Amino acid sequence: MPLEEEIKLLENKLSGDFLVNYLNNFFLNLPGGWYSSIYKKNNMYNLTFKEIMNKIGGESNLSEKKLSITPKTFFETIEDLIKKLGIPADKITNLLNERNMNEINSILLPLYIEMRKKGYLRYPDLIQ
C-alpha cells in the first residue's frame, strides 16, 4: 500500500483494536526494548542487517534501506525521532509497564509514520 494511503487509513481508524493490530509489535523497537537487547546480547549491534542475515543463514524480506544499516543506526534513528517528536520516554515506559497497548500505540503512531516516511517497510522492517 502506498504510504499516503496508509497514513489516510491510519488517520481514519485511530481506534483501539485496529491500531493495536496494525502496529502489532512495533513497540519492541523502542530504545532498550527487546529487539535492541537481542542484537546487543548476540554481538550483532554493529553489523549491518545484511551481514546478520548472512551470518544466521536466513533469507530476508527487509528493505534495502534496513539491510544496509546496523541495528545501532536503526535504534538511534528511533531514539532521535522520539526526541524530535517530543514523546516523553517516561510516559512510554509507564504505559508499557501497565500494558496499555491502546494508549501506547496512539502515542507511537507519529513515530511509526515518520519511520515509514524515511523509507522503512511496515513489514518486516518495523513489525514482525
Residue-level pLDDT, tens digit, the chain, 128 residues? 788 888 888 777 666 678 888 899 999 999 888 999 999 999 999 999 999 999 998 778 999 999 999 999 999 999 999 999 999 988 888 888 888 888 888 899 999 999 999 999 999 999 98
Long-range residue pairs from 78-85, CB within 8 A, at least 24 positions apart, any chain: 78/29, 78/30, 78/31, 78/111, 78/115, 79/31, 81/111, 81/114, 81/115, 82/30, 82/31, 82/111, 84/114, 85/110, 85/111, 85/114
Q: At what angle do helices 16-23 and 101-117 cross, to 10 degrees?
A: 50
Q: Which pTM value belongs to this model?
A: 0.90
Residue-level pLDDT at 68: 97
CA–CA dist 108, 103 (Å, integer):
9
- 120 within 8 A of 65, measured Cβ to Cβ: yes
The pLDDT, as a whole number, for residue 106 is 87
- The pLDDT assigned to 14 comes to 63
User: What pLDDT does residue 112 have?
Assistant: 95
pLDDT for res 15:
64
Q: Are 106 and 27 in contact (CB under 8 A)?
A: no
What CA–CA distance (Å, rounded) separates 108 from 121? 16
- The pLDDT value given to residue 21: 86
The cell for 35 is 529487539
Backbone angles phi, psi at 118, to 5 degrees: -80, -5
